[in-house]
Homo-oligomer: A and B are copies of this chain.
Amino acid sequence: MTTHRIAVIPGDGIGLEVTPAGIRCLEALAKRPGLNFDFTEFPYSCEYYAKHGQMMPDDALHQFREHDAILLGAVGFPGVPDHVSLWGLLLPIRREFQQYVNLRPVRLLRGLTSALRDRGPEDINYLVVRENNEGEYSDIGGRIYDGLPEAMAIQATVITKKGSERILDYAFRTAQSRSRKKLAYATKSNGIKHSMPFWDEQVEAIAERYPDIHVEQYHIDILAANFVTHPDWFDVVVGTNLFGDILSDLGPATAGGIGVAPSANINPDPSIPSMFEPVHGSAPDIAGQNIANPIAMIWTVVMMLEDLGEQAAADDLMGALENVTGEGRVLTRDLGGTATTTEFTDRLLAELKG
């Protein structure tokens, strides 16, 4: 009997509503023999910040390290500037644990309608692999002449060979595991002069090790356009931190919306916890009403189960999820239904219990 120790951070806003949905799924699965979870909940959030002046205590990362995985709802709430809340909680976890892979599947679930004309599940099925530790999200930069007419801010993007190689290697291996053997990469080397040509060179170098993979270069502007006009062209898509971020919101917008998009922040070293979080944020506008779509969180839990080696449980949960969406009877408002967060989760659990 394996017991998986899960650090749970519901966070802010709808994070507080969708996280329990995910936990309920895990608890249901844990009724089966051979699977067990030990949950520790951490209240780190903007509310915590209001009380303690920091998003999480100094030893929080140390606490998380004792766990096999971290399940996070959402971070950020009006009143606390985003760059405070996120740089005080979400981003340090990604960085400290070198969760350098941000894996974000874009797939139109059975029964859901694409925002794209005439597109169905067979057209939209790709994986965004986002570099998650460096690139455009760097600490380096600052201001000069603040408050004066000459004021300016400078921000450094840092792309390292090591950081690029490990994410690209992951992306190529992922492409190898899929039937189409295609990898598209996002760049902007026609406009951004230093970082992007360097990134391209790293891709070209790694590509030589994977002669079986068909590699395609896309500038980010035209890649974004092609997500709309030719989603069927894509299989695995890799990008730097910022470009991966944009693509992994845009992709889901074509596949049922942000309310269904899961993500995993992975450090492939099994001795270090990975973090699982829906792509959506805390959505203050709909928070507290029990109307948030829990699909993203439930699919995120599926990714966590896979990462923990619990493939059978992952398959069962994903199967139940697509049965419910395929049936199309119980859906939340963002998908045109009337179900609450709880009602959707109840229906899913009934399906899971079979």
Q: How many residues on chain A are close to B (CB under 8 Å)?
A: 73
Q: Are B155 and A195 in contact (CB under 8 A)?
A: yes
Chain B residues whose CB sits within 8 angstroms of the CB of A245 once the complex forms:
188, 191, 220-221
Partner of A155, one of B156, B222, B249: B156
Q: Are A220 and B197 in contact (CB under 8 A)?
A: no
Stretch at the interface among A1-9, A32-40, A54-62, A79-87: A79-87
Chain B residues whose CB sits within 8 angstroms of the CB of A76 once the complex forms:
190
Partner of A221, one of B87, B154, B189, B250: B250
CB proximity to B under 8 Å, residues A116-149? 116-119, 136-143, 145, 148-149
Q: How far is the CB of A144 from chain B (nearest CB, A)?
A: 10
Stretch at the interface among A41-49, A252-260, A286-294: A252-260
Chain B residues whose CB sits within 8 angstroms of the CB of A115 once the complex forms:
116-117, 228-229
Chain B residues whose CB sits within 8 angstroms of the CB of A161 once the complex forms:
145, 148-152
Partner of A117, one of B114, B142, B195, B196: B114
Q: Does A311 contact B (CB under 8 A)?
A: no
Q: Does A176 contact B (CB under 8 A)?
A: no
Chain A positions 301 through 333: 1 when the CB is less than 8 Å from some CB of chain B, otherwise 0: 000000000000000000000000000000000
In the complex the two chains form, what is the Cα distance from A136 to B189 in whole Å?
12
Chain B residues whose CB sits within 8 angstroms of the CB of A253 once the complex forms:
224-229
Q: Does A272 contact B (CB under 8 A)?
A: no
Q: How far is the CB of A283 from chain B (nearest CB, A)?
A: 10
In the complex the two chains form, what is the Cα distance from A199 to B188 in whole Å?
21
Q: Does A194 contact B (CB under 8 A)?
A: yes
Q: How far is the CB of A280 from chain B (nearest CB, A)?
A: 9
Q: Does A175 contact B (CB under 8 A)?
A: no
In the complex the two chains form, what is the Cα distance from A322 to B155 in whole Å?
43
Q: Does A246 contact B (CB under 8 A)?
A: yes
In the complex the two chains form, what is the Cα distance from A142 to B156 in whole Å?
11
In the complex the two chains form, what is the Cα distance from A156 to B114 in whole Å?
38
Mostly, the A contact residues are: mixed
Q: Does A350 contact B (CB under 8 A)?
A: no
Q: Which of A113, A119, A148, A219 gathers most chain B CB within 10 Å? A: A219
In the complex the two chains form, what is the Cα distance from A227 to B152 in whole Å?
30
Partner of A83, one of B82, B189, B227, B281: B189
Chain B residues whose CB sits within 8 angstroms of the CB of A226 once the complex forms:
253
In the complex the two chains form, what is the Cα distance from A82 to B148 in whole Å?
37
Chain B residues whose CB sits within 8 angstroms of the CB of A195 once the complex forms:
141, 153-155
Q: Does A300 contact B (CB under 8 A)?
A: no
Q: Does A345 contact B (CB under 8 A)?
A: no
Q: Are A220 and B246 in contact (CB under 8 A)?
A: yes
Chain B residues whose CB sits within 8 angstroms of the CB of A159 once the complex forms:
152-155
Chain B residues whose CB sits within 8 angstroms of the CB of A160 once the complex forms:
150-152
Beyond A151-B161, A159-B152, whether A192 also contacts B136 by CB under 8 A is yes
Q: List 3 tightest A-B contacts by C-beta distance, closest first.
A: A141-B194, A82-B190, A153-B198
Listed A/B pairs (20) with beta-carbon separation below 8 Å: A81-B197, A91-B191, A113-B117, A115-B116, A137-B192, A141-B193, A143-B198, A148-B161, A150-B162, A153-B194, A153-B195, A153-B197, A154-B195, A155-B159, A155-B193, A156-B156, A188-B242, A188-B245, A221-B245, A228-B228
